[in-house]
Structure 1
Amino acid sequence: MKNRPAYLDALLAAWYAGLVVVPINAKLHCREVDFILEDSGSRLLISDSTPEAPLASTARQLMPDSPNFVPDGKPLAAPIDRASTSAAWIFYTSGTTGRPKGATLSHGNLACMSNCYLTNVERVKAHHVLAHFAPLSHGSGIYVIPYLMRGCANLVPASASFDESEFVDLVNRHQGLAMFLAPTMIRRLVDHLDATDTALSLDHLQAIVYGGGPMYERDLRDALATFGSRLVQIYGQGESPMTISVMSREEHASYAEASDTSSDLQSLVPVGRPHPQVEVAILDAEGTLLPDGEEGEICVRGDSVMLGYWNAPEATDEALRDGWLRTGDIGRMEADGTLFLTDRVKDVIISGGTNIYPREVEEVLLQHPAVHEASVVGVHHPVWGEEVVAFVSLHGTVEPEALDQHCLARMARFKRPKRYQILDALPKNAYGKIVKTELRKRLASQQEENPT
């Protein structure tokens, strides 16, 4: 279902009836929807559109404008009680590295998430309004809970999507707006405001909570210059929903001050400090705690961590080990508790026995004024194991040789891309994340056509 008020009706009605919700992004292909329906065993699909192709699933379909969806005026039955350990929400991961897995969250997990949000992310007041520019099937939908706990209104844009002009109009017309946005959305807003010289009533904007993907240093600098101290970063994943760490308004202000006093771009944007309600540690592959400042896998444990993956015991055992959720993210924690996210474990490129982190190369590429988007992947090399390949989309024009000189001036030679591929746009999934698997497939196809 697209973003619409009926989505919230369906979400809350399902929980009232003691059911488990399985949010599905409206942009997914029919085959992807079918997979989620079949894997989850869903018996009811509430959708506001007819599928483009027949679904194999036997789930009953219900439209929001159906008479069966609207209350019939009869007194409601009492809500069905569920234990805090009972499943409430199955969130299927975005599948940027393969088939999505259903992260199963309990009512207790959602309660912990709400507690983290209200105490560490945003001090929500009753007059605040939660605006849903991001998909309700993702972070924007899960944040309905803490705002309802404070008696806040929800605002669903008429476009049912993210539109920069509509964003400006709604912010200018409504006060106390808060929202969850992906970093790519913030980048689009900054570019739109710069290109159109549009006036924005910043005093109407309560908070922009962002997460769900990397915030590059260049983009954060521009966002801070545009929105000021209204930015809050959350770091988490579907398995521990946005509850690993938070970078507060105050930390953003400190970051902005440090950036203002230095013309050099910092290597990585921190993802804040761990929530007090959870425990975060940097562990090695064997589960040993690493010293401050040393890189390893970010791991978390606490009441926010999922029950497991739906119908996937092996994947669950791999992710939940010795009481810890192994996030699959590489990072480090400084002595003051500041957490840095370096990259995904699966994305690290090993060339000549040395680890190369794509995020580091992407940060350098994005410093070039002509580069709009960048994504770096590894491809097989017969001698070195892997070599670095960069995919970029551009604002204007630039030759690969110029990009190479730009990288050589800013990083070790062995880290720089050995190839540059310029695309009109980089492939993204339904949540706006760049899909590296598609880039790897593109390289594999090229190698098949031109074997060396």
Structure 2
Amino acid sequence: MNLGELLNQIARRYPDAPGFIRGDQVHTWRSISQRVDSVATALRARGLGKGDKLLVHSRNNLPLFESAWVAFRLGAVWVPTNVRITPPEAAYLGSSSGAVAMLYDEGLAHYVDAVRAESPALRQVIAIGEPRAGELSYGQLLDEGAPHASTFRAADVNYHDPLWFFYTSGTTGHPKAGVLTHGQMAFVVNNHIADLMPGLSQHSRSLVLAPLSHGAGIHALVNVARGAACVLPASDRLDCDEAWRLVQEHRVDNLFTVPTIVKMLTEDPAVDRYDHSSLRHVIYAGAPMYRADQCHALRKLGKVLVQYYGLGEVTGNITVLPADCHDAEDSPAAKVGSCGYPRTGMQVAILDDAGNELATGEDGEICVRGPAVFSGYYNNPAANASCFKHGWFHTGDLGHVDEHGYLFITGRASDMYISGGSNVYPREVEEALLTHPAVNEVAVLGMPDEKWGECGCAVIVTTGQVSDEQLLAHLEPRLARYKWPKRFVRWEDMPKSGYGKIVKKQIRALLQEREEAA
């Protein structure tokens, strides 16, 4: 079916229940569905239809949320951007996707200009705020389509028809558009409900703390499928006090975020000022959570943490570590260091370079297959050939499985460095450093070294004074000497992506810039 039918089904079952809440504005499912069909009706009348690409550059808000459903129901392809990217980056997304329409937020018109310059296919521009000459307004489309919205019918699609271009973060070169399809995403929605949020219902409330353009958008689809309202903070930046107040006010039972945000939320004094006993599923992904941060969050929130591992190409659908596998104590049930077991209907294997499956406990590349795997990168046969080999999707991550089938991630293949002939996996070194009470954040990178070929450089953010000697003494009982960083660099903060993840590509570039300037 057209995945856009999920919204209409919920609107029929729970028409007057809240679907989208921000501040004192509460939008019911009936209202949202009518608005979506109004905009879709107006855009269809203007020639937008099946297979067309809708580029969306917006902060989290109601039109961004609705635009996904507009695209789905038209049979068009939703192409959301991270609002924090630069205009040239947005221009690349517009041109590489072949966008024919663009929706943009207030104050971001210069992004439209950049896209226009690179995208000859662009023919419709829609402003969420005041439109410029030659542009449409979102409000105008709502008004145009409203009289005929009740007769709108979603486009017919098949399992493999695309509905979303999910752009990678672009840690190397240009980002790539992962093609997510109607059938694949129907599986993902069901799997998220089964494995991540069992018991999700129309009484649930979900706090949205991440951009709806990526992982939080998938999470929002899942909540829509069960009629669970999305609650958005008024602020575009993380305000921990506001977040915890909203949890208490709306009895929020689920949220999706990344480990760095969980850390910020649970270390902020506001966590003790508000009632968060309604929380059942605090879902984190994007990176494994450092053990010290995990234990702190568990002591503050109780056993509500749920981890999943999965790239955008597999829509977060590789493994799950449920709440009962999280424990602040290092008990056997805690599965310390694991990102969980394979998701329902998915298969995980550790392969060598020749495609042979490795033995239990042996490190190799993490590969996956199953209905959640995307259909490939759009217009990128070279990337497809690289990642689809031996009948598996190759993640580029390294790891191993234990005798019970739990997966342990060692790191990215591109992060590993060789020092004196020995492989060093930065993740292991970072975990050890983070157990020091003065180390708040850390990123370890392999850097060129005349003697050893490469050696470790640890960029750290600390909460107090700590010498190199003290850090090395801390590592001595925890790591072999060849894994120790040769250098420690102290920064006040760590560069992060728009999704809250530490970006080693930026850290490496900053290190090189500062060394050249020295």
The TM-score range, normalised by the shorter chain, is over 0.9
Larger CA deviation: 287-296 vs 397-406? 397-406
Aligned to 2:294: 220
Partner of residue 319, structure 1:
387
Structure 1: stretches of 5+ with no match in the other structure: none
Matched, 1:432 2:504: no
CA distance in 2, matches of 1:257, 1:188: 21
**Structure 2 Cα separation of the partners of residues 110 and 204 of structure 1:** 28
Among 455, 460, 482, the alignment partner of 1:392 is 460
Letter in 1 for 2:126: L
Residue 251 of structure 2: aligned partner: 175
Deviations 1:248-304 (A, max 9, x none): 11111xx33435999xxx9x6211110121111111111100111111111000111
Alpha-carbon deviations, 1:305-326, whole Å to 9, x = none? 1111122110111011122110
Give the deviation of 1:176 after TM superposition. 4.0
1:245 has 2:302 as partner: no
* Partner deviation per Cα, 1:345-402 (whole Å, 9 max, x = no partner): 0000111121101001111111111111100001112332211110011112222232
* Structure 2 partner of 1:63: 127
- Distance, in Å, in 2 between the alignment partners of 1:405 and 1:341 is 26
How many angstroms apart in 2 are the aligned matches of 1:258 and 1:108?
40
* Structure-2 separation of matches of 1:229 and 1:282: 30
Residue pairs, 1:294-305, within 5 angstroms? 294-305=362-373
The 5 A counterparts of 1:39-438 are: 39-49=96-106, 50-52=108-110, 54-55=113-114, 56-58=117-119, 59=122, 60-65=124-129, 66=137, 67-72=139-144, 73-76=146-149, 77-123=152-198, 124-193=200-269, 198-252=272-326, 255-258=327-330, 269-438=337-506
Q: Tell me, in whole angstroms, the C-alpha distance in 2 between the residues paired with 1:324 and 1:376.
A: 30
Deviation at 1:63, TM superposition (A): 1.6
Distance 2:157 2:80 in 1: 19
Check 1:160–1:69 CA distance in 2 against 1; reply closer, same or farther (3 A cut).
farther
**Matched residues in 2 for 1:133 and 1:444: separation?**
33
Give, in whole Å, the separation in 2 of the partners of 1:131 and 1:443.
36
Per the normalisation by structure 2, the TM-score is: 0.82
8 A Cα contact 1:183 1:214, kept in partner: yes
Contact 1:299 1:325 (C-alpha < 8 Å) held by counterparts = yes
Cα distance in structure 2, aligned partners of 1:133 and 1:446 = 33
Aligned-partner Cα distance in 2 for 1:61–1:401? 58
CA distance in 2, matches of 1:97, 1:392: 23
Root mean square deviation of aligned Cα: 2.0
Looking at structure 2, the residues matched to 180 and 442 of structure 1 have their Cα atoms a distance apart, in angstroms, of 30
Conserved 8 A contact 1:379-1:387: yes
Match of residue 26 from structure 1 = 83
Distance apart, 1:3 and its partner CA: 0.8
Give the aligned partner of residue 70 of structure 2: 13
Residue type of the alignment partner of 1:128: S
**After the TM superposition, which segments of 4 or more aligned residues of structure 1 sit over 6 Å from their partners?**
none
- Tell me the alpha carbon deviations over residues 194-217 of structure 1, each in whole angstroms, 9 at most, x when there is no partner: xx5732312222321110122111
Between 369-378 and 432-441, the greater mean CA deviation after superposition: 432-441
The one-character-per-residue Cα deviations of 1:69-89 (angstroms, maximum 9, x if unpaired) are 424322232111111101111
* Whole-Å separation in 2 of the counterparts to 1:429 and 1:303: 28
Provide the rounded CA distance (Å) in 1 between the counterparts of 2:101 and 2:348: 37
**Equivalent pair of 1:108/1:304 in contact (CA under 8 Å):** no
User: What TM-score comes out, normalization by structure 1 length?
Assistant: 0.93
Please give the secondary structure, in 1, of the residue aligned with 2:255: strand
Instruction: Name the stretch that deviates more: 109-118 or 441-450.
Output: 441-450
Question: Helix, strand or coil: the match of 2:244?
Answer: helix
Q: Is the 8 A contact 2:399 2:411 kept in 1?
A: yes
Percent identity, please: 36
Q: In 2, are the aligned partners of 1:283 and 1:298 still within 8 Å (CA)?
A: yes
Counterpart residue identity of residue 151, structure 1: G
- Tell which deviates more after alignment, 143-152 or 60-69: 60-69
2-structure distance, mates of 1:387, 1:441? 17
The structure in which a higher percent of residues are helix is 2
Higher relative contact order (CA 8 A, sep 6+): 1
The verdict on how the C-alpha distance between 1:410 and 1:51 changes in structure 2, with shifts beyond 3 A counting, is farther
Classify 1:135/1:360 alpha carbon distance in 2 versus 1 (closer, same or farther; 3 Å): same
